[in-house]
């Protein structure tokens, strides 16, 4: 089984807000895990011609790192994700590998999930009516920074063996 590592960094006022608001950081971490899980399930479904994406279980671990080496506030999320999903057949677990995700698709999906989270927070915290998406798109364009790929090789897998003579000890 192989893994991929994703690192999601935040800059500017959003990083400061996430550094001091634990509930917001937890919600953002859950949304990131949800986006990664959905993408893996969709990819497994397409690659293995499955009728449903509900049974396969993807492995996602999200770890929050709050500080840089100089102890400055710098919130970023480290994600370790399996390169496929587990499907239970009878009493056995089978690992179904997925096609590699593209960073652009992942970033677009995550930005949309953040927009949905922000929209629900606005509706819950005092907006009289439902917030329409045309207004949300203006707010997103102004306040949510554009996402970009910073790592030169995001398609490289984290090679770790979990059985046999494992290099990970």
Q: How confident is the model at residue 31 (pLDDT cuts 50, 70, 90)?
A: confident
What is the pLDDT averaged over residues 53-73? 77
At residue 154, the pLDDT reads 46
CA 138 to chain centre: 24
For 69-113, write each residue's pLDDT tens digit: 666 777 888 888 888 888 887 778 888 888 877 777 777 788 888
The ranges assigned to domains in the chain are: 3-143
The token duo for 160 is 């770790």
Determine the Cα–Cα distance for residues 55 and 130; give it in Å rounded to an integer. Answer: 34
């Amino acid at each position: 089984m192989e893994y991929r590592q994703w690192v999601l960094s935040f800059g500017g006022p959003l990083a400061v807000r996430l550094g001091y608001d634990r509930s917001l950081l937890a919600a953002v971490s859950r949304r990131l895990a949800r986006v990664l899980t959905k993408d893996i399930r969709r990819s497994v479904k397409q690659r293995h011609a499955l009728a449903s994406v509900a049974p396969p279980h993807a492995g996602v671990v999200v770890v929050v790192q709050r500080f840089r080496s100089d102890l400055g506030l710098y919130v970023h999320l480290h994600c370790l994700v399996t390169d496929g999903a587990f499907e239970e057949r009878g009493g056995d677990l089978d690992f179904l590998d997925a096609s590699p995700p593209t960073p652009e698709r992942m970033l677009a999906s995550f930005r949309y999930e953040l927009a949905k989270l922000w929209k629900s927070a606005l509706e819950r915290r005092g907006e009289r009516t439902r917030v329409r998406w045309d207004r949300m798109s203006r707010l997103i364009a102004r306040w949510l920074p554009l996402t970009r790929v910073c790592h030169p090789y995001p398609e490289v897998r984290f090679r770790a063996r979990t059985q046999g003579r494992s290099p990970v000890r």
